[in-house]
Structure 1
Amino acid sequence: MSNLHLDVKQMIIEALDLEDIEADDISDSDPLFVDGLGLDSIDALEIGLALQKRYGIKLKADSDETRQHFASVNALVALIQSQAEK
């Protein structure tokens, strides 16, 4: 697990105040919504705000592309890396 993967997992845990979950409990490739962590749209907003604060990434709430970025930790890491290269 890369440092960025760990950082994203910690950000999710902190943003959503998930007390019973450790970073190791979150799979890099499992879905964050529905199955996997079972997050909902409010959680997505919280994660979006955390991404903006920590990495300066602004997302459109209603775009299909944004939904793809929130698919998994791997997808969020790829988004952060692609934004860092700009």
Structure 2
Amino acid sequence: MPCDESRLLENSGWSSRTRAVAKYLQNLLEDEAVHGHKVLSMDSLLARKTRKEASRMFFETLVLKTRDYIHVEQVKPFDNICVKAGAKLMKSDF
């Protein structure tokens, strides 16, 4: 099985929302890398979003973290959450 095909099969059971958030984060992180930044702030991701949109985005980041597509870090409780791309995220087609 070619490598591209195995990557497609790996995320074939995902919801359309998970795919959309993964693609969104992939694009944002690629754009940030051009400017020398490798980390996104959860605060900036959730800015100008409704409570419903923010909760969905937060949930989908947890799903992607669980599947090792992104790395998240929070230094102390209630502090900002930093989101970094995992190798799987940057190599995948959504």
TM-score range (shorter-chain normalised) is 0.3 to 0.5
TM-score (norm 2): 0.34
More strand by share: 2
Larger radius of gyration: 2
TM-score (norm 1): 0.36
